[in-house]
Chains A and B, each alone.
Chain A
């Protein structure tokens, strides 16, 4: 069983389009995250939800909007895609304290043309 899953795995789209990435975890964790990893492998937190409530919202363009319908799901919607949005987006989950391991999904490789 996959602990943290993401769909789609690859996403190739044109500038200006709107796209969504979905994430689901079956670990029973309360906290979920979205990270962006750029071409230089720098992994940066974007958002975090704890039990459907937004708790971390880093400096991210408001074209990015996360949504958590329940604590097992965290989706990311991106409007008006730009070339600089090309990256790998990782979803992760944890039991919610700063001492706990974060478990990462397989990543969604987004390429904006």
Chain B
């Protein structure tokens, strides 16, 4: 059983719309959550991190965490073609440097 699960997609969103990416995790000890973006042929780069329940906003990106439901999401407002990439959700347990990744959701923004 995978510890971090994401829909693999592809998820297609029109340019300018809101893209919503979802992730669930199974380890209730998980305390740190990360969203990484990976362009094709490139390495993952951090978009957002979130540690507390609720929303965290950074520019066009909003991360949402609900520990009771073991659910993390990433919203991308005013989607741009440059947002087309694979988005990886990751979780770690406090005191353990191991980062567990989901399989990623491939997002395509349609001009």
Contacts and interface: CB of A to CB of B under 8 A. Distances in A.
Question: Do these two chains really belong together in a complex?
Answer: yes
Contacts of A66: none
Nearest to A30: B97
Interface string B86-98: 1010001111111
A67 to B, nearest CB: 19
Contact of B43 (A41, A48, A90, A97): A90
Interface residues on A, range: 20 to 34
Contacts of B104: 41-43
B96 A98 contact: yes
A25 B34 CA distance: 21
9 contacts: A33-B99, A43-B44, A43-B88, A56-B98, A99-B51, A101-B34, A103-B46, A106-B42, A107-B43
Interface of B: 31-32, 34, 38, 42-46, 49, 51, 86, 88, 92-101, 103-104
Interface of A: 31, 33, 40-45, 48, 50, 55-56, 90, 94, 96-99, 101-107
